[in-house]
Every structure is written in structure tokens, then in C-alpha cells.
Amino acid sequence: MRSPLSPALRRLLAVQRPYRGWMAGGAALALLAALAAIGLMAVSGWFIAAMALAGAGGLAINYFTPAAAIRAFAIVRSGGRYGERLVTHEATLRGLAGLRAWLFRRLIPLAPARLAALRSGELFARLRADVDALEHFYLSVLVPAAVALLSTGAALLLTLIVLPLAALPLLLGAVLAGVLLPAWIERRAARASELAVRESAALRGMLLDALRGHSELLAWGAVAAHNARVEALAAQLDSRRTRIDSVQAVGSGVVGLLAQLTLLGVLVVGLAAVHRGALAPPQLVMLSLLTLALFDVIAPLGEALAQWRATLLASARVFDLADTPPCFTEPSSGTPMPPAYEIAFENAHLRYSPQLPWALEGVDLVLPAGARVAVVGASGAGKSSLLGALLKFYPLQQGRVLFGGQSVQALPGDALRRRIAVIAQQTTLFNLSLLENLLLAAPDASAAAIERAVSLAQLDPFVASLPQGYDTLLGEGGALVSGGEARRIAIARALLQDAPVLVLDEPTEGLDARTARDLYAALDAAGRGRTLLLITHRLSGLAELIEEVVVMEAGRVRARMPVGEYLAAEGGR
């Protein structure tokens, strides 16, 4: 605990600002319940002792006031604790949901360029486990610490009034149990709890591999070996947790011990005072029980602090990710899109990292509106990078990309991408219904438009074969449809987007010749009146769709020619 509130935690509180009312309310209720519990014990002790003394001495005693106080304290304690739990949990859950939503929205502009290094298992771990770990901060650290601090203050004040000398052991005990012990626990558990965070993220990643790569592992006879690795990591994680729990157990035991010792100290001081006649005996009983009650409030701090380092690490992981700057600063939302659709690359240079060779190395290419151009080349020639730059997913190191005469850098990314429909090399479908998957790009599409897109994409027979039709769930990543079906769904989805520019990235890869041939006609119809950019390493039947061919090689445009010329040259080889 070098700094009580690291920058990350201050950020955390800032993000949680909308839930401040809930958080403060929960803390207030917690304090109320704690004070009532301390008051209950103290008054009860005093009451019993006073009653006993009165009985022994045959004195009269007003038992109505203390009895009423006991009742009031009891009700406030129970009700307060109920309210506290409800409100603090409400605050936590709202805070966490808000934080998760906030983080997810921060991730959106980072994909794909800035997230390339992180697998979705790791991202998931941050979004789930790390955000959940932050729940701990408010619920187990912030609220108990505030409550313990204020309760100790109140208890000390009372003790100072009744018997100033007794405040000394109480203060000593409270500082030991509430500050030094938690600090010791935090130090002892720091390494283990930090490692636990990292290993639990790694475990999620490994499990994801075990499940998603199961077919491969099974085919290679590697399932047992991978499982053994999973179990070894899990065992390591378990040993960290055992370590943390042991430290916690010792800590909570020591709190009990400290409570006893403090009580002894109070008794020693108190009994001497009783002897001197400086303190009424019932007040000594009151002070003793007050001490025990106060330690009940302080006790949870030690256990909570064992996770402190994990909380710090989790918040650092969350904010590191959230603070990653996107590659592009978006222009103000009102920036209008140009009316034209001409696409131009000017001396475009792109590479994915300084160590890697150029993916695009000085590409100059103009695609007038309505052009039908194929970009061909071997894999790794830079065809897909062209698309990444056009969609404003990757920044150029040099040169620029123009859309409608304006640099894409100055255009709002979402509006730009709305005008460019892409049928990607790898189709990503979501575990939504077929209809929802189709509507992702065009939520307001009419039934007629959907029918048209589906039939253009040759998807009718597939839809007809589904017992639940459009409402069929497609499974995670579209796992329940074949590769060819997935491609056709992606084509229908792109057609629904109704954009002036249509990009086909290997549109018939994974389709058999007949299906592909049926699609050519559909794509031809869909491409009418639009700019058509075809990215492929094999032109074959797609040649009918286009007018010109651009040949790429090692990140440069080698040649540009009419399609007939290209086919003739190819045929001659």
C-alpha cells in the first residue's frame, strides 16, 4: 500500500461517477448499521451490570430508557444491515455493468489494429474477471474501511469521555488490527494475488483453446496432453489461492487475538479506575463490550486487503486496455460525407509493425465510381491490406486514401464503412437468429428487401430447408451452418447494406463451382450501378463481373489492364 489510491483506482472512481449516489448511500447505511451494533453491545453491557448492581444493592433503577435504547439499536442494526447489503450490492452491480459497457465501447474503435496482440480469450478475461475483481474495491475495501475508520472514531470519542486512559489500548488495538495487520497481509499475499490474476486469465485462454481447438487436438491425439497443461496451470492457480487463503486465515485469527488483548488492556486500565472509584462498574462492562463490538467492524479489513494487489492489477489491466489510443481520431460527428464515391490510393505505404516488411509500398490506384476492378496477386501481395486501409481500420505510414475526393482520415469511420459493403474472406456470424444476422448491417430493412437479398445470394433453398426458417439460431460463430452457407449469408448481409461500393474479398472461396457460378450472376446484378472491387488470387469465373484487372506483387501495383488482355496473358502461360 505505498499509495493508498493509485491513479487507476482514481480513474475507477471517476468512471463510477454516475453511481455515486448509490455508493454513498450504501456506505452511509453500512456506517449506521455498524454504529448501531456497537451501541447495542455497549448499552446492553451497561444495562445488565447496572441491573445486577441495583439488584444486589436493593436500589431502584430506571430500566425503561436503556431498554428502549436497546430495542432501537437492535432494530436499526438489523434494518440497517439489510438496507446496506441491498444498496451496496445494487451500487456494485450497476457500477460493474456500467464499467463493462464503458470498456466494451472503448474497445470498439481499437479493433482490429490495436487489438491484434490480444486474443479474445484475454480480452474476455479483462472484460469479465478483471472488471469483476474491481467489485471488491468498493464492496470489500472502500466501504469497510470508511465504516471502520468512522466507527473507531466514535468509539474512541465515547471512551475518551468515559475513561480517557482506556482510549489508549483501544487506539493501539484498532491501529494494529485495522492498519498494520491489513498492511502485513497485503504484503504477504501480494505476489500470490498478482500471479493469480495473470494465471486465471491464462487459464481462460487455455480452456478456450481446449474447446475451440478440440477437433484438432482430438485428431492429433493431443487432448490428454493439453488437458494436462490446463490442469497444471489450474493447480498452480489453486496453490496461489491456498496461499492467499492461508494469509487471510492467519489475519482473521490475529484480529481475534488482538481483540482479546485489547480487551485485556481496557480491563486492566478499567479495573484500576474502578478500584480508585473513578469509574462506575457498569461503565467498565460497557467499555469491554464496546471493544469487542468495534473489533467486529475492523475484522473484515485484513481479509479484504489480501486481494488488494489483485484489485490494483485488475484495474491497471482494465485501464491500460481502455486507454490504448485508437489509430484514428474521429472527426466531429457532424462531418458530412462527400457525395461522390471515387476511391483513390496515393503513394499508400502500410505496415503492421516496424519490424515487418511493407504490406503496401507506394500503391497508386484510382477506382472511379462505378468501376469494376479485380485486384489479383499471390497471397501476401497486399490485397487485403488495401481493404484494411480503405475501411480506415489501419493507418497509413505514408501517402493517403481518398474517398469521394476526401482523405478517409478526415471522414467519420462509421459513415465511411456504411458506404462500403464487404464480403470478407472469413465470414463471422453470430449466435443470433438467421434474421438477426442478416439485419446486423441494416436493422431497418423491409421484408421485401430481405427476400430480395436472400434470393440474390442463392440462399432460398437453405432458408426453406430450415424448420424454423429465419428464426433458426446459427450457433456460436455460425457453427451450425456449412462454410458455403455461411458465405451466402454473408453475401445476403452485404447486399442488404445497400452501399455504393461493394468489396468482394475472395467471394467464392469455399464454394463449389456450381454455387459459385450461380452467385456470379447474383453478384453481377448486385454490383450494377456500384463500384465493384474484387480481391482474389484466382479470377476464373469472376472475370465476367469486372472490366479491369490490377495485378499486385509485394505491396505494389505491377500492372493494370482490361480483363480481356489479362485473361489472354494468363491463358498464354
By CB under 8 A, the residues from 547 to 566 that bind another protein are none
> CA-to-CA distance for 316 and 130, rounded, in angstroms?
9
Q: Which of residues 271-310 bind another protein (CB under 8 A)?
A: 271-272, 274-275, 281, 284-285, 288
Give the one residue of 68, 180, 222, 569 binding another protein; rule: CB under 8 A: 222
Q: Strands 548-553 and 372-376, how do they pair?
A: parallel
Residue 321 contacts residue 115 (beta carbons within 8 Å)? no
Cβ proximity of 360 and 537 under 8 Å: no
Residues 6+ apart with CB under 8 A from 428: 477, 478
Residue 335, interface with another protein (CB under 8 A)? no
Alpha carbon distance 442, 169 (integer Å): 71
Beta strands 372-376 and 398-403, pairing class: unpaired
Would you say 189 and 252 are in contact if contact means Cβ atoms under 8 Å apart?
no
Helices first, then strands: H and E counts in the chain: 22, 10
- Pick out residues in 488-507 that bind another protein (CB under 8 A): 493, 497, 506
Site for another protein in 247-276 (CB under 8 A): 249-250, 252-254, 256-257, 260-261, 263-264, 267-268, 271-272, 274-275
Total chain residues near another protein (CB under 8 A): 162
Q: Which span (22-30, 187-195, 341-349, 373-381) binds another protein, by CB under 8 A?
A: 373-381
Decide if residue 210 touches another protein (CB under 8 A): yes
At closest approach, how far in Å is the CB of 2 from another protein? 28
Residues 312-331 interacting with another protein (rule: CB under 8 A) = none
**Residues with Cβ within 8 Å of residue 177, at least 6 apart in sequence:** 254, 255, 258, 259, 262, 295, 298, 299, 301, 302
Find, among 336, 529, 498, the residue nearest to 418 by Cα.
498
Minimal distance in Å, beta carbon 319 to another protein?
18
Considering only residues 76 to 95 of the shown chain, the ones binding another protein according to CB under 8 A are 77-79, 81-82, 85-86, 89-90, 93-94
Which parts of 226-245 interact with another protein (CB under 8 A)?
226-227, 230-231, 234-235, 238, 241-242, 245
Q: How far apart are CA 34 and CA 91, in angstroms?
A: 19
Kindly tell me which of 78 and 406 has the beta carbon lying closer to another protein: 78
Closest CB to another protein among residues 3, 56? 56
CA dist 447 and 470 (Å) reads 11
Site for another protein in 16-75 (CB under 8 A): 40, 44-45, 47-49, 51-56, 61, 63, 67, 70-71, 74
Task: Kindly state the smallest distance separating residue 37's Cβ from another protein, in Å.
Answer: 10
Does the N-terminal peptide bond of residue 331 adopt cis geometry, omega within 30 degrees of 0? Answer: no
| 168-207 residues near another protein, rule: CB under 8 A | 200, 203-207
* 112 touching another protein, by CB under 8 A: yes
Question: Residue 93 or residue 366: which is nearer to another protein going by CB?
Answer: 93
